[in-house]
Amino acid sequence: MMCRELARRGVTLLEADTDGVYFAVPEDWSEMDERRVVSEVNELLPPLVQLEFDGRYEGKHPLLIPVTDNNMVSGEATSPIRYQMAPVLVDLSEHSREEVMDQHPMLWRVMAKEMEREAKIRLYGKTVGSLIGC
């Protein structure tokens, strides 16, 4: 029902599971348009089911924008400033991915944080499916 109601309001469903719903909106929509749709659909749901707006995303990555005077960032707010890592264009035919990451050490930290956030890390010496040991 929720997915149908979102689609009726003009959004394109990307993913829906027990943790949440990801959807794309028309390019001319503002954040207020997105919040309005979430609010309208939330009103139609049973009392124990809640749909909440959790910020804007590019793919599955939250768009981080400054929300305080000392530049703390969040995925929920409005600002003309947006933070993201600059892409690194590399010819991998003659270099390994690790060599490139060694040239940009911050990438190792970002990769580790992303793997931790996605619960893809296991304790060293343990075998747990396809999780990576550390």
What are the E-state strand segments in 1-134?
A: 12-17, 20-24, 57-58, 61-62, 65-66, 73-74, 121-122, 132-133
Residue 1's pLDDT is what? 80
pLDDT at 10 over 70: yes
The mean pLDDT of 22-43, rounded to a whole number, is 87
Residue carrying structure tokens 């747990």:
128
Query: Binning pLDDT at 50, 70 and 90, where does residue 50 land?
Result: confident
Terminal C-alpha separation, the chain: 42
pLDDT at 40 over 80: yes
Query: pLDDT per residue over 95-130, tens digit each?
Result: 888 888 888 787 788 788 877 777 777 766 667 666
pLDDT at 81 over 60: no
Residue 76's pLDDT is what? 62
Quick one: residue 110, left, alpha or beta (phi over 0 = left, psi -120 to 50 = alpha)? alpha
**Higher-confidence position of 65 and 30:** 30
Please report, for the chain, the start and end positions of each structural domain, with discontinuous segments joined by +.
Answer: 2-53, 97-133
Report pTM: 0.47
The mean pLDDT of 2-28, rounded to a whole number, is 83
pLDDT at 55 over 70: yes
Residue 51's pLDDT is what? 83
Dihedral sign from CA coordinates of 16, 22, 23, 24: negative
Highest mean pLDDT among 54-58, 64-68, 88-92: 88-92
